[in-house]
Chain A
Amino acid sequence: MAHPELTLTEHRPFQTQRKDTWWVQPLAVFIGLGVFIVYATFRVFEGNHFLPENAPYLTPFYSPLLFGTSEHSNDHSWFGAMPAWMPGVITPAVLILWAPLGFRFTCYYYRGAYYKAFWADPPSCSVSEPRKGYRGEHSFPLIIQNIHRYFLYVAIVIVGILAYDVWEALWFDDGNGGKTFGIGIGTIILAVNVVLLGGYTFGCHSLRHLVGGIVDLLSKAPVRRNLYNCVSCLNQRHMLWAWMSLLWVGFSDLYVRTIAVTGWQDYITF
């Protein structure tokens, strides 16, 4: 029986002969990244509730805290209070969050994922696209993605700063003007955040290249070889690290914000 329905050259948008649920993965990416973008945008411009008064937890969205916005946060910021001449739309998060967001935006994994989920370029493997033209990363504007390694350098520094924040989150006010050691649930959440962000950052494709992929004779560079093997090990699960760290950093912020807003005291082991 003949079916004169489709030819191989007439492509309609989203046309495919695939019979599996190919749309599930791009849809999941669209929802996952979309929810994060909306939440992160809200938090970035909220400009408040990033450092609870009753716990030493600084949300990763506002770390490093260059300027404070209250008496309490001014004491914990690097340069004191936010300058009066700074426009109101500039919050402490706006000053620093461009770096980790830029790192993720130019990440090789996320590029492939959001080209599919947000631009349908392509919607999925062997599924037709809704537009004819294509320039890829060969020319402006996407050629700018080649800046990825510069965001990597900043992201490594930020992972170090977040690790220091975990140290700070170990020291609680003792009620007498001093500090006492303790591990709160928030401390553990911030520590897990550093581990996940570290796994994502140190498994970066650019880092893999810079530490060892750049040379053909790894046998002559044993230190590079070991670093290359370590980064390659993390890189094999780069997508998993990317999603786990993204979800956890959002959860960490939500946890800290909840404490800051409600004044709730989380469980602390002294």
Chain B
Amino acid sequence: MAKATFRIWRGDADNAQYVDYETEVSEGMVVLDAVHRIQAEQANDLAVRWNCKAGKCGSCSAEVNGNPKLLCMTRLNDLPLDQPVTVEPMRAFPIIKDLVTDVSWNYKVKEKMKPFTPRPPDAEDGTWRMEQVDIDHIQEFKKCIECFLCQDVCHVLREHHLHEEFIGPRYLVYAASLEMHPIDTENRLEELKGEDGIGYCNITKCCTKVCPEHITITDNAIIPLKERVVDEFYDPLRKLFKVFSG
């Protein structure tokens, strides 16, 4: 059986280092399998968060060879195994231990956002009627598994740590799914421009590239929201048009 070396980031926020582990690998293995083998055979105290092993729970987010990835969906045969495979925790969030980070900031961001506010029900039984075409352009946003890889790769959070001023791509997608919803009545543009900091996004499309659900985050969520903010705050002609058209 072939062997490969995994260079795993071990430690906490104060004291950490990369440690090399050599382990056997076989066809069909993913990085999480290798990490589990190392955990079982060489490093029983290695901390790694995981759950479904099917790319749907978003728990095993980490960085493999510098790229934000789900450990359970990163196949070893897609990696160059002639050199050590680097496995690190996400850099945008505080480290708890080894590969496990504290992602609770994300949930706090979500709590602060204006919730879904539907119009009064269309039918007496309390239900609404919607056309599929009106749902189509927000449908993909519902695929998000909240793995936070998009937050991790976003340089505004990862590099500049502007967590207090920018909600990140995950929550811009969430805002888009609400703002563009055919029966939602809330207006979130003031918050998007202000405390949500949509202007910090400089459209690198890194979030789109790392999304394991292939959500077109930048083109279908962030840019349309930026355009709505332009409508509301930066387009005097449109303002004038709205005044005259009522």
Contacts and interface: CB of A to CB of B under 8 A. Distances in A.
Contacts of B167: none
A17 B86 contact: yes
A77 interface: no
Contacts of B104: none
Contacts of B234: 143, 146-147
Interface in B154-199: 155-156, 158-160, 162, 165, 180-182, 184, 197, 199
Contacts of A115: 202-204
A235 interface: yes
B126 interface: no
B200 A137 contact: yes
B202 A205 contact: no
A149 B230 CA distance: 9
A47 B181 CA distance: 52
A174 interface: no
**A interface, by DSSP: helix, strand, loop or mixed?**
loop
A121 B159 CA distance: 10
A19 B203 contact: no
Nearest to A213: B224
A133 B155 CA distance: 12
B184 to A, nearest CB: 8
B65 A17 contact: yes
B212 interface: no
A16 B67 CA distance: 9
Interface of A: 1-9, 11, 16-20, 108, 111-112, 115-116, 121-122, 125-129, 132-139, 142-143, 146-150, 205-206, 208-210, 213-214, 216-219, 225, 235-236, 238
Interface of B: 7, 9, 13, 16-20, 63, 65-68, 80, 83, 86, 88-89, 91, 95, 131, 133-134, 137, 153, 155-156, 158-160, 162, 165, 180-182, 184, 197, 199-206, 209-210, 218-219, 223-224, 226-231, 234-235, 237
